[in-house]
Each structure stands twice: as structure tokens, then as C-alpha cells.
Structure 1
Amino acid sequence: MQDSVTDDIRTVQPKILVLGATGATGRLIVSQAAARGYDVTVLVRSAEKASDLKGVKLVVGDARDERILRQALKGRDAVVSALGTPASPFREVTLLSSATRALVSAMKIEQVSRLVCITGIGAGDSAGHGGFLFDNVIFPLLLRKVYADKNRQETIVRDSGLDWILVRPSVLNDKPSRDTIRALTDLSSFHGGTISRAHVASFVLDQVRDDTWVHRSPLITW
């Protein structure tokens, strides 16, 4: 059954659910998916914030609500999670892990196996590879609690039993995409780097149909 679903994703335009669709990267994922002819459903907290997302099916609700997630997953082939959360120097962050835990449960019930999840440089074994400013100023002062939750999120994904890919972009910018992108798992000689949100969106959408990085955590950068 799972093999036939995977074959369908490869041979026809996939039906995807996008979480975090109103964020800066999420919007590009949605627009690029629509341009590719994908059938796109988005789950958003506010219909007003998503009013400019064209050509998508809109489901309004909380990404931590398993009932809403199951509704949004009906008929989908894959999920792209671009969930994010603001910097939080003082308060604990739980949104990413709690939403991902609910998502994994809902995906299993609805028999959707492919999950492409964006986390970021600084998660897991990519910690300490963001460059001097990121590693020594931005991360400890602003993002430590966010990344503690990203680490919990990654653990949930790894333990899910799904066909998962964890995508860790380097520092994001809004520059135009370049012709080439590097996807790395050996970070021994990598310190710092940037990548455009548009390129992240393109790479993430490629993973909906490509098995190259299944059960792996590539860091993507220029």
C-alpha cells in the first residue's frame, strides 16, 4: 500500500498539506507548489492572514489540534511543515514539538507517510556550525529556547516511523535563488552560510517526490 502511494506521488501531481503557510518561507512554498501544479491544502490559524494565498484549499484551525489536522490531511499524499516561532529569550517554547507530535499521530491515522519538515541550522548535530555571530550572539541570546524545541521536534520526527526528511537551512535571506545549492550531512568543515527562502522552498518541494534524503537531515546552503 505504501509503495503504491509513493509511486502515485512520483507519477502524478502530488496533493500536499502545508503547515506554516503564512510565514515568509511558507508563502513561497505555497506559491511554488501552485506553480508546479500541485494540489495544495494549507492549515492556518487566521483566514484573514491567508487571504492572498491563491489556488489553495484553506483549513482554519490550530496546528496542535489533532482533529483539525486529520481534517486537513484527508486525501493528501504528503505534508510540508514550515512551522516557525518568534525568538523567545525568556519564555519556554513548545509550539513546534506539540504541533509535530499531533501531526505525526494524525498522519498515521490518515495513512499519509511523507513528511518534509523544516527546522534550521543549529538543530541537532548542526549546532555550532552557524558562524561566529550566529553561534555566539544570536543563538544564545535569542534562539536558545526556540532551538530546544526544534530539537524536541526533530526527535519526534525521527521516531515517527514516517518517510521523513528534516531540512536544515543555513541563515535565511530574501535574495534571488542561485543556480546551485549544497545539501550537506558532513559538517566538519562547514561554518556559517546563507540561503534564500526561495531556494529553501524549491528544495523542500523536491523532497515530496524524491527519496534521496529520506530518513536524513541535510543542511542546505549556498
Structure 2
Amino acid sequence: MTSSVPDTVDPAEPKILVLGATGGTGRLIVSQAVARGYDVSVLVRSAEKASDLKGAKVIVGDVRDERVLRQALQGRDAVVSALGTPASPFREVTLLSSATRALVSAMKAEQVLRLVCITGIGAGDSAGHGGFLFDNLIFPLLLRKVYADKDRQEAIVRDSGLDWILVRPSVLNNKPGRDAIRALTDLSSFHGGTISRSNVASFILDQLRDDTWVHRSPLITW
């Protein structure tokens, strides 16, 4: 299933592949990218769930399938990964790391270098900086296994040899975006925080043409 791409697409604008496009943040990444005139493809499990992603080319397939990923990457300049997974208190989580491993291999094969990947506060050295409720209740009770896989995902990205940026949003909300956000790598005095999905989407798209955060892992927050 393919939706029509607007005539306003500028051939000089990035041609991007978005993974996780049917999630809350992924949808905003797609809509904002289309509004900027980007050439947008999305790889999704269900064409039905992506039927409202106007202006994007919809490719249906498994994000863990390297063959499918290679096909989706053809003609692309960059990848945005907004992959997510539900809370999983008991079952092991492997989707993020397995999909990212396949993605890195496919990107290398297709010579697509720029990867902007969303993980989240609590991943890597941002663990313990989510605030009292997140760090002491939500994380250990609901998200421990999810974040174990996010850590594996981040390690795969870091070792990829790609032009990667790992973006760790603070706790997400659906409020309108603000004019200014903070991007932090020194978290020594940071504990807790929120940010809108709209601001996250905008920051992510800015990284497609900005090298400021390449090979770094900014935490973004209000």
C-alpha cells in the first residue's frame, strides 16, 4: 500500500525511512517531516494502522527482517528509529535489539549512514535520572525488561560504525511543543522532567542535517 507523495517534496530534502511510524511519537515525526517537504517512507507491520500517514510511502513488513529493511532503504539518505515496545513486567523483550541489529546490517549494505534512534530516559548512563516516581516505581516494576533491551539496542548502535545519534527523551507527554528545549549530556544535576512528543519529533528531524550530536546521546527535556 502506497499513499501519494505531495508534489511539494523538494528533491534536495532528505529522503528518510521511519521505523515505529504508527506510535505516538512516530506519527508526529512523519507528519512534521512531510510538512517540511521531506521524502518519507515508513516500514510498518500493518497497512491499516498506517492508512492515515498522509504523504508517506507505506511499506509493509517485519522490521527484524534484513531483506525487507534493505528494500525499504533503497534510495534513502537516513533512518529515524522510533521503535517502541509495551511495558513488560515479566516477559523478556528482544524486539528493539533484534530489529536494530538487522537495521544496522541493512544500512551498511545499502550505504545509508545517518541513523537517529530514540531510546529514552533510563537507558545507559541516564538510568537513575528519571525522578522519584519513575526511578523507584515505574522503571523497576514495569520497564526493567524493556530498558534492558534498550541498553542492548544502544550498544548495537554505538558499535555500528554509522553516523548515529541516540536521543533519550525525558518522560513523554502530549502537550503542545515549546519554543525551547534542553539537550543534556551532563546529567549530574538532572532528576526528572518531561517533554512533548511534538518537541521530540522536531528535535529528531533537526538531527538529519546537523552534526552537533553525532556519536553522542543527548537527553532532551523541557
Q: How does 1:63-212 map to 2 (within 5 A)?
A: 63-212=63-212
CA shift for structure 1 position 42: 0.1
- In structure 2, what is the equivalent of residue 4 of structure 1? none
Q: 1:217 aligned to 2:211?
A: no
**SS, match of residue 109 in structure 2:** helix
**SS, match of residue 16 in structure 1:** strand
Q: Distance in 2 between matches of 1:149 and 1:207?
A: 24
- Give CA-to-partner distance per residue, 1:123-172, whole Å, 9 cap, x none: 00000000000000000000000000000000000000000000000000
TM-score when normalising by structure 2: 0.95
Q: Distance in 1 between matches of 2:71 and 2:78?
A: 14
**SS, match of residue 57 in structure 1:** strand
Higher helix share: 1
Letter of the 2:75 counterpart: G
Q: How does 1:4-15 map to 2 (within 5 A)?
A: 12-15=12-15
Q: 1:40 aligned to 2:2?
A: no
CA shift for structure 1 position 192: 0.2
**SS, match of residue 62 in structure 1:** coil
CA shift for structure 1 position 190: 0.1
Q: Give the count of matched residue pairs.
A: 212
> RMSD of the alignment, in Å?
0.7
Letter of the 2:17 counterpart: L
Q: 1:55 aligned to 2:69?
A: no
CA shift for structure 1 position 79: 0.1
**SS, match of residue 168 in structure 2:** strand
Letter of the 1:180 counterpart: A
**SS, match of residue 165 in structure 1:** strand
Q: Distance in 2 between matches of 1:209 and 1:55?
A: 21
Q: Distance in 1 between matches of 2:58 and 2:14?
A: 17
Q: Distance in 2 between matches of 1:137 and 1:204?
A: 28
CA shift for structure 1 position 78: 0.1
Q: Distance in 2 between matches of 1:98 and 1:201?
A: 24
- In structure 1, what is the equivalent of residue 8 of structure 2? none
Q: Distance in 2 between matches of 1:164 and 1:87?
A: 26
Residue ranges of structure 1 left out of the alignment (5+ in a row): 1-10
Range 49-58 or range 91-100, more displaced:
49-58
- Give CA-to-partner distance per residue, 1:48-97, whole Å, 9 cap, x none: 00000111111100000000000000000000000000000000000000
Q: Distance in 2 between matches of 1:198 and 1:107?
A: 27
CA shift for structure 1 position 179: 1.0
Letter of the 2:112 counterpart: V
CA shift for structure 1 position 12: 2.1
